Amino acid sequence: MRHNGFLMKIEEKYTTFRSRAGHFVRVRPLHFDDAPLLVDIFEHMTAESRYKRYHQSLDHVDPDRVQQEAINIAQADSSSNWGLIAFAHLPNRLNVPVGAVRFVRTAPHEAEVAISIRDDFQNVGIGKQLMHLLAETASKMGLQRLIADIQNNNTPIWHVFKSLPYDIQRLPEGAYSHIVISLTIPSHGITSPLK
C-alpha cells in the first residue's frame, strides 16, 4: 500500500462541503487527464491572481505554454506529486473546476505546496478547505513538512495558512516569506524567527 512514504493508490472519492457563499463544492484527487480543467482554472484568474500564484506576470502568456504546464502537472509522477481539484455548479454550467491544490516532494519528508482558485470563487473558503484536505493527506502519506514561498501582501493566502491546525514558521525574505508548515506539531500560530 505504501511506497517511499507515499500511498500507491488513493481511493477515488469525493469530499463535499459548502462554501461561505453557499456553493456546493465537490473535491477529488487530480487525474492524469485533468490538464484541460487546470487550464480552465488558469483562464479564470486575473493577472493579479496569476502573479500572486506564480510570482511572475502571466497576463499575456502563450496558450501552448499554459497547456503544456497543465499537462506536466496533471501527468506528474504520483510518487512525488499529489493534488486535489474542486468543482462547483454555475447557473449556466455544471461541474465547473474552481480550484486546485497540490504538493511536490522536495525531500523525503518535505513537499512544496501550491494553490490556485479562479477569481469568482475566491474568498469564500474554498482555498482553506482544499489546503486543509491536502495537509491532512500529506500527513497520512508520511510527510512532516510543507513549504511555500508567499508574497507578504497576499492577504488571502495568509488567512488560509493561519487556519491550518499545524505549527507554521515564517522566514521573511524581502517582499516574500518562506513558510514551513510542520505537520507533526500542533498550531502555535505563525511565528517568525528572531533576528
Q: What are the pLDDT digits (tens) for 58-96?
A: 566 677 877 888 887 888 887 788 999 999 998 888 899
Coil, strand or helix at 154: coil
Run of H or E residues at 70: helix 63-74
CATH assignment of 2-191? 3.40.630.30
Buried b (16+ CB within 10 A) or exposed e, 89-125: eeeeeeebbbbbbbbebeeeebbbbbbbbbeebbebb
129 burial type by CB count under 10 A (0-12 exposed, 13-18 middle, 19+ buried): buried
Indicate the range of 9-13, 31-35, 169-173 predicted with least confidence: 9-13
Query: Does pLDDT of 194 surpass 70?
Result: no
Query: Does pLDDT of 9 surpass 60?
Result: no
How far out from the chain centre does Cα 190 lie? Answer: 19
Distance CA 36, CA 42 (A): 10
Cβ neighbours of residue 165 under 8 Å, at least 6 residues apart? 132, 186, 187
Sketch the domain layout of the chain as residue ranges: 2-191
Identify any residues that bridge with 181 across adjacent strands, giving them in sequence order: 146, 168
Higher-confidence position of 16 and 13: 16
Q: What is the DSSP string of 13-58?
A: --EEEE-TT--EEEEEE--TT-HHHHHHHHHTS-HHHHHHHHSS--
Position 8 scores a pLDDT of: 35
Cβ atoms 154, 139 nearer than 8 A: no
Identify any residues that bridge with 96 across adjacent strands, giving them in sequence order: 88
Distance CA 181, CA 7 (A): 21
